[in-house]
Amino acid sequence: MKNLIIASTSTIHGSGYLEYILDELIVFFKDVNTILFIPYARPSGISHDVYTQKVTDAFAKINKKVTGIHEFDNPIEAIQNAEAIFTGGGNTFVLTYQLYKNNLIDAIQTAVKNGTPYMGTSAGSNICGLTIKTTNDMPIVYPPSFNALSFVPFNINPHYLDPDTNSTHMGETRETRINEFHHFNTPPVIGLREGSWLQVIGDSIVLKGSLSARIFEYNKAAYEVEADTQLNHLK
């Protein structure tokens, strides 16, 4: 049975890395001693080792150990033997490229299907949707496919931002970009605001956190859903 936390971000304003969600993670990882971290997204281009140390420091606060998948000679076996998996944020294209390069898409899908807890933030959440076509990131590398892990039957836009009516910026809003996506694609998209996450248990998908999320469905007007709303209808 699937057991996931799909979070918009790892850090909210005024808070340290993962601090805003640590109480939730104590419960989520209660039966886990060691978490396998996938650092492939490399925010700001940091190394896998530096990124893994940052995550190690954060999880030490709830007495969990962390190992980086890059430390293993066989990353597929690392996934197969993992007690739990965490994929951090950064560049979604870099992350997806590395997952395909290391033949990890099927391995992660199988592990999660069999009950291995999975947590993603930002790019690590983008890959939980059907495709990565609604990421905010620049395509600095070219993965073999935009198809993602398909843990939920829709696409995700982490760090969703509402239009700022006081801004003089003339560029496209997130809503405009997602509407452009729907000119060529039909899957729903959920705009996850900072500090929100999806809790997936089996077939149940629930919005968590204190904020609403914005839902975009093909040929429909965008609408808001409040926290604790079931999102199983999005297909």
Residue partners of 220: CB distance under 8 A and separation at least 6 = none
Q: Where are the beta strands (DSSP E) in 26-158?
A: 34-38, 65-68, 85-87, 118-121, 155-157
Q: Which residues are marked as active site?
A: 122, 137, 159
- What is the enclosing helix (H) or strand (E) of 23? helix 22-28
Strand partners, 198: 6, 207
Question: Are the CB atoms for 198 and 205 separated by under 8 Å?
Answer: yes
For residues 209 and 207, what is the distance between their CA atoms, to the nearest angstrom? 7
